[in-house]
Structure 1
Amino acid sequence: MRVKLVFPFDKKYMEFEDLDLNKDWKRLMYFFIRTTGKKPTTNTLLFLIGVNELGKGKKTFSKEEKQDLMHIATCKLLSLSGYYEWEGLDSDGWPHYKAVKPVPKLSLEEQEDLLKLHMIEYFEEHIHDEREREKTAKNVSHLKPIIKPKPSSETDGQNSLSE
Structure 2
Amino acid sequence: MDYAFEEQWGRLVQKMEDRFGEPPDLTTMIFTVGLQECGQGFRKFKKDEKLEVMHVGVCTLLTPMGFYRELGTDEDGWPHFERLGDIPAASKQEQELLMKRALVEYFGAWIAADHPG
More relative contact order, 1 or 2 (CA 8 Å, 6+ apart)? 2
Q: Distance in 2 between matches of 1:28 and 1:58?
A: 22
Question: Residues 93-104 of structure 1 correspond to what in structure 2 (within 5 A)?
Answer: 93-104=77-88
State TM-score, norm by structure 1.
0.63
User: What is the identity, as a one-letter code, of the residue corresponding to 1:73?
Assistant: G
Tell me by how many angstroms 1:21 deviates: 2.7
Structure with the higher fraction of residues in helix conformation = 2
Tell me by how many angstroms 1:78 deviates: 0.6
Q: Distance in 2 between matches of 1:33 and 1:69?
A: 21
User: What is the identity, as a one-letter code, of the residue corresponding to 1:123?
Assistant: F
> For residues 66-108 of structure 1, what are the alpha-carbon distances to aligned partners after superposition, in whole Å with 9 as ceiling and x for unaligned?
1110011000111010110011112221000101122111111
Question: Residues 1-163 of structure 1 correspond to what in structure 2 (within 5 A)?
Answer: 20-125=4-109, 127=110
Q: Distance in 2 between matches of 1:21 and 1:112?
A: 14
> Which structure is larger by alpha-carbon Rg, 1 or 2?
1
Q: Distance in 1 between matches of 2:40 and 2:13?
A: 25
> For residues 14-59 of structure 1, what are the alpha-carbon distances to aligned partners after superposition, in whole Å with 9 as ceiling and x for unaligned?
xxxxx63322211111111222221011111111110100011111
State TM-score, norm by structure 2.
0.86
Partner of 1:56, secondary structure, is coil
Q: Distance in 2 between matches of 1:20 and 1:88?
A: 34
Structure 2 regions of 5+ residues with no counterpart?
A: none
RMSD: 1.8
Structure with the higher fraction of residues in strand conformation = 1
Amino-acid identity (%): 35
Aligned length: 112
Q: Distance in 2 between matches of 1:37 and 1:92?
A: 31
